[in-house]
Each structure stands twice: as structure tokens, then as C-alpha cells.
């Protein structure tokens, strides 16, 4: 059940990023929305919890790597 919520948050994150990219004028660089990163990271946290609960250690580790990368990018935006 947690994986469904996690994937839902990941999809919401991608929708946020897609809308953000579509609203940028042509000559401006494309940036990553901090909201994308937050929703993505929290979605991945739920995926990690679900993977650990189901003994899918490799899947959990790969999701942890994705989550850490998203948080590092988010921290860069906060500076």
C-alpha cells in the first residue's frame, strides 16, 4: 500500500516539473522545481519503507540512492 502512495507522489512530482518547464520562456534555462524534488523525495521515502517491509533490499538501496540525490539537489536550492 505504501508503494502506491509513494508512486503517486513521484507522479505528482513529475507533473509539477512538467508544468514548470512548460511555463518557462524559450530563451531561459530549464530549472528543476524545488517542489518536484520535495514530492519526489517523499515519494521515494515511502517506496523505501515498503521495499524494506517486503525484504526487497536491493530495491530499497536503489531508492535510497535516488532519495539522497534528490535531497542533495534540494539543499543546493535552499542555499
User: What are the tens digits of pLDDT across the range 29-64?
Assistant: 777 888 888 898 899 999 999 999 999 999 999 989
Grid cell 505504501 is found at: 2
Question: Model-level pTM?
Answer: 0.77
What gap in Å lies between CA 21 and CA 14, rounded to an integer? 10
pLDDT recorded at residue 17: 87
pLDDT recorded at residue 78: 66
Q: Is 4 exposed, middle or buried (0-12, 13-18, 19+ CB in 10 A)?
A: exposed
* Interval 1-39: pLDDT, tens: 888 999 999 999 999 988 888 877 776 777 788 888 889
pLDDT recorded at residue 28: 74
- Decide if 51 contacts 78 (C-beta within 8 A): no
pLDDT recorded at residue 37: 84
Residue ranges per domain, the chain?
A: 2-21+31-78
Amino acid at each position: 500500500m505504501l508503494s502506491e502512495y509513494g508512486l503517486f507522489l513521484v507522479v505528482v512530482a513529475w507533473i509539477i516539473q512538467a508544468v514548470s518547464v512548460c511555463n518557462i520562456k524559450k530563451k531561459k534555462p530549464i530549472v528543476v522545481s524545488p517542489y518536484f524534488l520535495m514530492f519526489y523525495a517523499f515519494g521515494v521515502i515511502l517506496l523505501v519503507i515498503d521495499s524494506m517491509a517486503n525484504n526487497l533490499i536491493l530495491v530499497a538501496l536503489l531508492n535510497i540512492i535516488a532519495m539522497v540525490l534528490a535531497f542533495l539537489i534540494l539543499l543546493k536550492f535552499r542555499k
